[in-house]
Structure 1
Amino acid sequence: MIFTDEHIIEAAGKTRVVVRDGRVVEVGSPLIGHCPLAKKFKSPVVSMSQDEIRKNIEERISSFGMCTRKRCVISGDDFVLFGASELLSSALLSKIIDCAVIACDGAGTVIAKNPELIQGIGGKMSGLVKTCPYEEVIKNIESNEGFVPFKEDASIDPFGGVEKALELGFSKIAVTVASSHEAEKIRQKYPETVIVAVHTTGAEREDAVRFTENSDIISACASSFLREIAGPKALVQGGSSVPVYAMTENGKKIVLSKIQKTKMQVLLKGEILPFTSGKDPSPLI
């Protein structure tokens, strides 16, 4: 079977971006006009213009080989305090989990038991929709305590990744999901799994309900419904402009563990949730 050298990412503002042969060949229209997190990127996206988004993706390709055979998969640097990869890396170091099922360009589903592998893959890349397998990237992952269960087609399959992790003998598994149906499916079959909902901008009301009922941690991104539905039920909120909600005791433990390990200054405050700084992405959708 022949695989096209193509990667599809939903980048800043959930903009559809297509990369082929290491080049950005398509940039769609963003769903939102402003994101405080995107302004902090190494190549910042301030106005959500297609040109800025293209330059941001091109910077990622040149700096760490995203969507190429030269993909760097190891990093020890935090980008944001409560990012999914930062939280899962910390949870692994604290032995709250023993692996994380995540997605990587050039490999698809990855089972990672190395915190620097989790951060190297997820810290600077999110919203992966489709990818293709690169032998070089897969070997790099495997040499850094990672497993790639679907090497042939680099499929992105969180449920299948959890099943493979269990087969490999892992028992405290975390997984990132961008689909509320996937979260529900995993929760029903494998209720002990730590489920982290990511890339949720544009989630419909029913998706927000499903994420709320089936996730341990939720990144609210630019979702108005998650702020409305998940926010009041959260046990802990991390961040304010792009809030991360801990919905369960496991989720709370992971967020507090990250606070314990960080060298950053942190404000802790009793507050009715959800809390907003008034600097949310806009518009919330």
Structure 2
Amino acid sequence: MDNNSGDEHIFETVGKCRIKVHNGQVVEIGEPRIKDCPLAKRFEIPVDEISKKAIKKTIEQRIRSFGMCTARRKVISDREFFGFAPAELLACGLRSGMFDAAICNCDGAGTLIITNPAMVLGISGLLSGLISTSPIPEVIDRIEQYGGVVFDRVGASLDPLGATIVAQKMGFSRIAIPVSDPDIAENIRTYYPGAFIFGVHMSGIAEEDAQRMVGVSDLVTGCASKTIRSIAGKKALLQVGAVIPIFALTPLGKELIMKRVLEADEKFFLKPTTFPVVCDNQPEPLL
């Protein structure tokens, strides 16, 4: 598959820049819009100063270490990178029984229906902002071997709503869906009012779209978004983190965060306050 001329994967990553990987090689890196991110400094290959060179280095490390965008792609992991990041929270929801399925995207396979928490961590733990991908048969076979369902085996399309429809037909009723597009989020909420919607990859989102995402999401990540931090902060029932905040916007969102608190080894200090809680150490600039 690595020699297939149709093998192409495009995603957004640290710095809010677009990356293109072709045949296992980073062939294109967009201009970073974010110049500094505290979270990126905690990567396996730290990005201390956001530049095309540093971004290329960390993406190449992901390709080497877990086969991202190649036939060697690992899909199972028990490694947790960030305590309250979307992958860790979704895995917690599956472990606790709060969800019976999660809808996630994977390079080389497209949109998936996942019931295994270790697959959520293995696929989503280091993948961000997948925009398009092409099918890699070895990756698709591996996902199915571990119980995942690939929505589109032929085209590896990204279709969270379509996968949610399939999951419902399969008998799943407590479904969690990470979403970055307000149109998709609103459609899912309309057709499946009980779905758990997690707004992700919000950096650079326009104010109107931020309002819409906050209006239908249970959880939303602040990323490097000035608008989400402001709008979600005013509505939030609970906030975890201040550098890259996660906002619980509904009782279900709050419940998931508290389930994660209960299973985590860290110590926590909780107190009533007003939101958003901010800190000096955050991405620069906010978009």
TM-score tier after normalising by the smaller chain length: over 0.9
C-alpha separation in 2, matches of 1:147 and 1:3? 26
Structure 1 residue identity aligned to 2:241: G
Residue aligning to 1:96? 98
Residue aligning to 1:138? 140
C-alpha separation in 2, matches of 1:3 and 1:22? 11
Contact 2:5 2:23 in 1 (8 A): no
Residue aligning to 2:43? 41
Q: Aligned ranges for residues 231-270 of structure 1 at < 5 Å?
A: 231-270=233-272
Contact 2:15 2:35 in 1 (8 A): yes
Residue aligning to 1:13? 15
Deviations 1:128-147 (A, max 9, x none): 11111111111111111210
What's the CA shift for 1:170? Answer: 0.5
C-alpha separation in 2, matches of 1:219 and 1:138? 29
Task: Specify the SS of the correspondent of 2:15.
Answer: helix
What's the CA shift for 1:181? Answer: 1.4
Q: Aligned ranges for residues 150-229 of structure 1 at < 5 Å?
A: 150-229=152-231
C-alpha separation in 1, matches of 2:221 and 2:166? 25
Percent identity between the two aligned chains: 44
C-alpha separation in 1, matches of 2:270 and 2:279? 14
Task: Specify the SS of the correspondent of 1:109.
Answer: strand
Structure 2 residue identity aligned to 1:134: I
Stretch deviating more after TM superposition (275-284 or 17-26): 275-284
Structure 2 residue identity aligned to 1:19: V
C-alpha separation in 1, matches of 2:69 and 2:266? 31
RMSD between aligned alpha carbons? 1.1
What's the CA shift for 1:13? Answer: 1.3
Residue aligning to 1:115? 117
Deviations 1:62-104 (A, max 9, x none): 0000000110011111111111110010011111110100100
Task: Specify the SS of the correspondent of 1:250.
Answer: helix
Match of 2:73 among 71, 74, 93: 71
Task: Specify the SS of the correspondent of 2:69.
Answer: coil
Contact 2:196 2:218 in 1 (8 A): yes
Task: Specify the SS of the correspondent of 1:30.
Answer: coil
What's the CA shift for 1:269? Answer: 2.5
- Unmatched 5+ stretches in structure 1: none
Structure 2 residue identity aligned to 1:9: F
What's the CA shift for 1:266? Answer: 2.4
C-alpha separation in 2, matches of 1:104 and 1:27? 20
Task: Specify the SS of the correspondent of 2:46.
Answer: coil
Deviations 1:21-68 (A, max 9, x none): 000001111111111111100111121110000001000000000000
Residue aligning to 1:62? 64
C-alpha separation in 1, matches of 2:144 and 2:5? 21
Residue aligning to 1:106? 108
C-alpha separation in 1, matches of 2:214 and 2:242? 18
C-alpha separation in 2, matches of 1:265 and 1:6? 43
Task: Specify the SS of the correspondent of 1:87.
Answer: helix
C-alpha separation in 2, matches of 1:238 and 1:156? 29
Structure 2 residue identity aligned to 1:105: D
Contact 1:3 1:132 in 2 (8 A): no
TM-score (norm 2): 0.97
Match of 1:147 among 146, 149, 170: 149
Contact 2:101 2:176 in 1 (8 A): yes
- Aligned pair count reads 284
C-alpha separation in 1, matches of 2:267 and 2:153? 41
- Unmatched 5+ stretches in structure 2: none
Structure 1 residue identity aligned to 2:23: D
C-alpha separation in 2, matches of 1:78 and 1:235? 25
